[in-house]
Structure 1
Amino acid sequence: MAQLLSQQDANLVERLRAGDEEAFMELIRSLNPSLLRVARMFVPTAALAEDVVQETWLAVLNGIDRFEGRSSLKTWIFRILTNTAKTRGERERRSVPFSALDTEQGGFEPAVERSRFTGSGHWAVLPRAWPEDKLLAKETLSVVERAIERLPASQRAVVTLRDVDGWTADEVRNALDLSETNQRVLLHRGRAKVRRALEQYLSEEP
């Protein structure tokens, strides 16, 4: 097994190759929600996304003996997914190249609007501190979740994989076939929109 593969991945691959059903179920429980989110970027309906994920898992089972360990197991699985989803999306005539999404629609989006600063670069009005009790409340988490759900599909996927699932920039870039710049721009724009929604909610008078 190639050096790029962690010992944990190597053990999991061996279990999968041995037909260990529990190992396969562990993998499904771990990755299925993220796979569905990414698949949804390329196909027009949730039902089609579920079909794409099922096809991906079948491809994983059929191809695990040919997995060479040149990437992490997770990256390999997501590459299968994106290729499958792109093919299905094109078949549905709804596919757009992922790397082109959002990055061609204007330039840099600031995390905070320029109108909130003076010409010298200082705050026009100092932002209020966010109350800790409100920041940690369940309602606040719901605001964040709704803000993420409203993001364009590509931004939503990158923000979710990075900030919810805890992926590294390289993992997201490799799995979604993004350039470093595209990954950074999508993450910045998505985070900026979530921050604005959170700021608006936390700034409301009780």
Structure 2
Amino acid sequence: MLVEGQPRDEGALLAALRAGDEAAFLALVERHQAAMVRLAAAYVGSPAAAEDVVQETWVRALRGLDRFEGRSSLKTWLYRILTNTALTHARQAGRTITFSDLAGADDEPAVEPERFRPASDREWAGHWAVEPRPWRVESLDDRLIQREVLGRLQAALDALPPNQRAVITLHDVEGWESKDICNVLGLTETNQRVLLHRARAKVRRVLERYFDDEAVNER
């Protein structure tokens, strides 16, 4: 049996799951369900399809517990099953996503080149010509638009390529460490950094345009 429904370490959790302890399984689901849905959505798009992926992942994980050898953490093993399942669903739905896509990075610049000073600028070549603008919430009126900002943010995430969306979801939304992201997605540290940088730049670009439009409308 579990103490307060939650094993204190992974070994105890694994033993409880293998023994068919329902409380252990429910605790695991409660801990990871929401994050798994968000990650699955990076590959399959719709929330409904993401829920299907996660449900299938739980079934596969339970069936495969006896084959789990502990070469990685239980969390890493679980999310690898999720990623495999999501990629399979994506291919079945006609979305062309492969593991090689996860490791790659597109050729487009993370930030528009015109925002940097040209090479001909002898003193400040490569420096910002137009610096990123900070965002501040200073009044009640500002806070009232937060719902719309969150909507724009989610739309920006939805528009990212699956590889970038997966990385930024795990790193910035779920708070994972880079090494864990690399282990789950099969990325090198360099690729993970590049994908995260590109994803952040694209999301920031969307939000900057939104705030610039708001500033124009207020004039």
Normalising by structure 2, report the TM-score: 0.74
Larger RCO (alpha carbons 8 Å, 6+ apart): 1
SS of 1:69's partner is: coil
Confirm or deny: 8 A CA contact 1:42 1:95 kept in the other structure.
Answer: no
Farther off after superposition, 193-202 or 136-145: 136-145
SS of 1:130's partner is: coil
Matched with 1:177 is: 186
RMSD: 3.0
* CA offsets 1:113-163 (integer angstroms, 9 cap, x no match): 3312333234435665533427x8334444323322222222112111110
How many aligned residue pairs are there?
Answer: 198
Confirm or deny: 8 A CA contact 2:167 2:196 kept in the other structure.
Answer: yes
Matched with 1:115 is: 114
Confirm or deny: 8 A CA contact 2:165 2:199 kept in the other structure.
Answer: yes
Closer, same or farther in 2 for the Cα pair 1:131/1:95, shift >3 Å? closer
Identical positions, percent: 49
* CA offsets 1:171-196 (integer angstroms, 9 cap, x no match): 11111222323322221111001111
Larger radius of gyration: 2
- Rounded to whole Å, the distance in 2 between the matches of 1:44 and 1:150 is 10
Confirm or deny: 8 A CA contact 1:43 1:95 kept in the other structure.
Answer: no
* CA offsets 1:1-53 (integer angstroms, 9 cap, x no match): xxxxxx63223212212322122122212222332333344447554443332
Q: Please list every run of 5 or more consecutive structure 2 residues that lacks an aligned counterpart in the other structure.
A: 1-7
Note if 1:131 corresponds to 2:136. Answer: yes
Q: Please list every run of 5 or more consecutive structure 1 residues that lacks an aligned counterpart in the other structure.
A: 1-6
- Rounded to whole Å, the distance in 1 between the matches of 2:69 and 2:186 is 19
- Rounded to whole Å, the distance in 2 between the matches of 1:125 and 1:45 is 36
Q: Which of these residues, 147, 151, 162, is aligned with residue 153 of structure 1?
A: 162
Normalising by structure 1, report the TM-score: 0.78
* CA offsets 1:75-130 (integer angstroms, 9 cap, x no match): 100111222333344444534213325935315x23x4331233323443566553
Note if 1:71 corresponds to 2:76. Answer: no
Q: Which of these residues, 178, 200, 204, is aligned with residue 191 of structure 1?
A: 200
Confirm or deny: 8 A CA contact 1:44 1:94 kept in the other structure.
Answer: no
User: Counterpart of 2:135 in structure 1: which amino acid?
Assistant: W
Matched with 2:10 is: 9
- Rounded to whole Å, the distance in 2 between the matches of 1:87 and 1:128 is 40
Closer, same or farther in 2 for the Cα pair 1:188/1:84, shift >3 Å? same
